[in-house]
Amino acid sequence: MDWFSVHLAARAPAGSSSGTALDAAADVLMDLLAAHDGVVSAGHGGWDATVSVHADHAQSAAERGAALIEEKAAQAGFPGWPVVRVEAVRQDVLDAENERPTLPALVSAPEAAELLGVSAQRVHELAADHASFPEAVYELRTGKLWLRDAIITFGQRWERRPGRPRKVTAPVR
Amino acid sequence: MLSDRPGREVPKDYREVITHLIDSQGWTYQKPRGGGYPQLRRADAAQPPVKVPKTPSSQRTFSNWLAEIRRKGGLWPPLRK
């Protein structure tokens, strides 16, 4: 048996949201789920709750956790809105996920240049001309931002040709 | 909307995350009014507020809460420079 974190999301049918009432119900649900490591968020036409349950596998954890949350949510006074998501994840896996940054590492042209061992100007040339150069994920007024991992991967696959790029000259007639 | 600052009403682990979200990501924190739970809301008002446990809780509760914060768009842990 392992501990699983079970998350359930319920959403209001169109046109039936009630923020203030949900806030009071959310406080009650926090009390009711406290013994199950419960966490609640509610408002704007929906609510979410997470609990921890002890189970043999993720599927039975999802069933038990969802049933527990739905029972306590009804007691707390939540309307019987449709459940739109149920997820179960083993607690140690969730802990590992929580330690990974949500936002991937980004780099601007000077940092990309450092990673590739070229000048910032060359990065701009590559971005404009090289078919395999990664797409920028953001384009700000101050310049482009790329995923750091994408630049590193490009650097590993890029077949560099030594020396200056050959000048393209017009044929002599 | 001005944010409250988290105090002793929430456990220390939570306080560290809440303070970071207020100072770096524009979230707002509201202390409990009349016996309810404190809550944390993202700058994007379309996201529902997340309740914060008041008493020292288990590591599993903290982990579940952190996952909910991340689901709502909170960036944690902070990126290393």
ipTM of model: 0.92
Across the interface, do A48 and B47 touch by the CB < 8 Å criterion? no
The pLDDT of residue A18 = 55
Q: Is residue B65 part of a domain?
A: yes
Q: Is residue B62 part of a domain?
A: yes
Both tokens of A97, joined, read 């996920």
> pLDDT tens digits for chain B (81 residues)?
677 899 888 999 999 999 999 998 999 999 987 889 999 999 877 788 999 998 777 999 999 999 999 999 999 998 765
pTM reported for the whole predicted model: 0.81
Across the interface, do B47 and A44 touch by the CB < 8 Å criterion? yes
Q: Is residue B76 part of a domain?
A: no
- Tell me how close the Cα of A160 comes to any Cα of chain B, in angstroms: 30
What does the alpha-carbon distance between residue B43 and residue B26 come to, in Å, rounded to a whole number? 5
Among chain A residues, the shortest Cα distance to B70 is held by A102
Residue A11, phi then psi, degrees to nearest 5? -130, 145
The pLDDT of residue A163 = 67
Q: Is residue B43 part of a domain?
A: yes
Q: Is residue B30 part of a domain?
A: yes
**B35, B36, B75: residue with CB nearest A103:** B75
pLDDT means per 10 residues, chain A with 173 residues, are: 97 72 91 96 91 97 98 95 97 96 89 94 92 92 92 90 63 59
Both tokens of B31, joined, read 């202390």
**B36, B77, B79: residue with CB nearest A27:** B36
The pLDDT of residue A153 = 92
What is the number of domains present in chain B?
A: 1
Q: Is residue B23 part of a domain?
A: yes
Across the interface, do B77 and A99 touch by the CB < 8 Å criterion? yes
Which domain, by its residues, includes B54?
Answer: 12-71
Q: Is residue B5 part of a domain?
A: no
The upper half-sphere exposure of residue A116, i.e. CA atoms within 13 Å in the direction of its Cβ, equals 31
